Amino acid sequence: MTATLPAPTVLRLHRTALTGWLVAFTAVAALLLWAYGPGADAAVAEWNRLCARQRPCTWGGGSIMNYYRAFTLAEFLILWIPGLVAAWAGAALIGRELENGTARLAWTQGVTPTRWLAAKLTVPAVLLTAGTTVLVLLHRLAYDTNTLPMGWTWDRDNTFGTNGTTAIAWPLLALAVGAFAGLLLRRALPALAVGFLVAGTVRILVHETTPHLWPHETAAGDAKNGYRTPVNVMNLGEGTYHPASHFWPLQLVETGFALAITAAAVTTAFWLLRRRTA
């Protein structure tokens, strides 16, 4: 008779990563809620006081900069913290259990290797997906209600990466790649380094490639006047661009690539585990 690892057991084994994720989630959520509420109110009041009659307007420190710093810091943390936590859960913990022998001990007590790995991946995947989804929704709330000309256009790399489904997919990729690295190397710290490095590199490459995989728009013009690219677009150069209406198609393309690579990494990890435990 086979058994599966209960969720409380997995959470206890992942308690360091779980604690780190809860702290990071709480901090980012607090930043975004502050930016949406009192931070935004104070920044708007200061902007109206300093810039109501000045075009262009110059501003420095104070409430506007605090608002700007909070929002940009939240974007940076959403981009990288879930991936780091996922790589830790996937690589370091799986690698550590293989390194110190606790994985084989579990396999001798009725938990098959396949079910062991499934439990190790499912619990952090659910927690990361749920938490990151909430952070993305909070980010969209703060972004959509911002009335200041702060330069947060939809195509800005950090804003694009934290305002849609790509932010939810990339931690799953990091988890899958980290798990595969842990199974391959069987050591915690090398697997963590390799998993995070590979996941981060793949993320950057896919993000840079995505705009060229969806049909773009071309600015019209003539030989005399040239062409004029519209505002609020993602410029690709030489008169080609993506308008704001391409935000969700581009998000879905990038998300699809991330999930496809995630599925491939998970499948390979299970294949490797079955091969080594046959």
Query: What's the pLDDT at 21?
Result: 83
Taking 50 as the threshold, does the pLDDT of residue 2 lie above it? no
pLDDT digits (tens, 9 = 90+) for 147-169: 777 667 888 888 999 999 999 99
Note whether residue 230 is domain-resident.
no
Q: Is residue 104 part of a domain?
A: yes
Q: How many domains does the chain have?
A: 1
Confidence of residue 29 (pLDDT cuts 50, 70, 90): very high
Vertex 94, ends 89 and 99: CA angle to 5°? 140
- Domain, as residue range, for 136: 7-212+243-277
At position 113, the amino acid (one-letter code) is: P
Within-domain flag for 123: yes
What pLDDT, on a 0 to 100 scale, did the predictor assign at position 150? Answer: 67
Q: What is the mean pLDDT of the segment spanning 34-59?
A: 80
Q: What is the pLDDT of residues 170-191, one digit of tens each?
A: 999 999 999 999 898 888 888 8
Q: Is residue 122 part of a domain?
A: yes
Summary mean pLDDT of the chain = 84
More reliable by pLDDT, 266 or 229:
266
> If DSSP states are collapsed to H, E and C, what string results for 96-148?
HHHHHCHHHHHHCCCECHHHHHHHHHHHHHHHHHHHHHHHHHHHHHHHHCCCC
Tokens (6 digits) for 259:
């999930």
pLDDT per residue as tens digits for the range 207-229:
889 988 888 888 776 555 556 77
235 inside domain: no
Position 58 scores a pLDDT of: 66
Report the SS3 class of residue 42.
helix
**221-222 vs 226-227, strand pairing mode:** antiparallel
Q: Which two tokens stand for residue 224?
A: 């005399």
Determine what percent of the chain is predicted with pLDDT higher than 70. Answer: 87
Q: Is residue 23 predicted with pLDDT exceeding 50?
A: yes
Q: At what angle do helices 166-185 and 93-100 cross, to 10 degrees?
A: 20
Q: What is the pLDDT of residue 123?
A: 86
Instruction: Look up the pTM and report it.
Output: 0.86
- In percent, the amount of the chain with pLDDT more than 90 equals 31
Q: What is the DSSP letter of 3?
A: B
Give pLDDT, residue 82: 81
Structural domain includes residue 247 = yes
171 and 201 Cβ atoms separated by less than 8 Å: no
Q: Is the pLDDT of residue 4 over 60?
A: no
In the structure, what pLDDT confidence band is assigned to residue 267 with cuts at 50, 70 and 90? very high
Q: What is the DSSP letter of 151?
A: S
Residue 221 belongs to some domain of the structure: no
Write out pLDDT tens, residues 52-76.
766 667 666 688 888 888 999 999 9
pLDDT tens, residue by residue, 121-141: 888 899 899 999 999 999 999
Question: Is residue 218 one of the residues assigned to a domain?
Answer: no
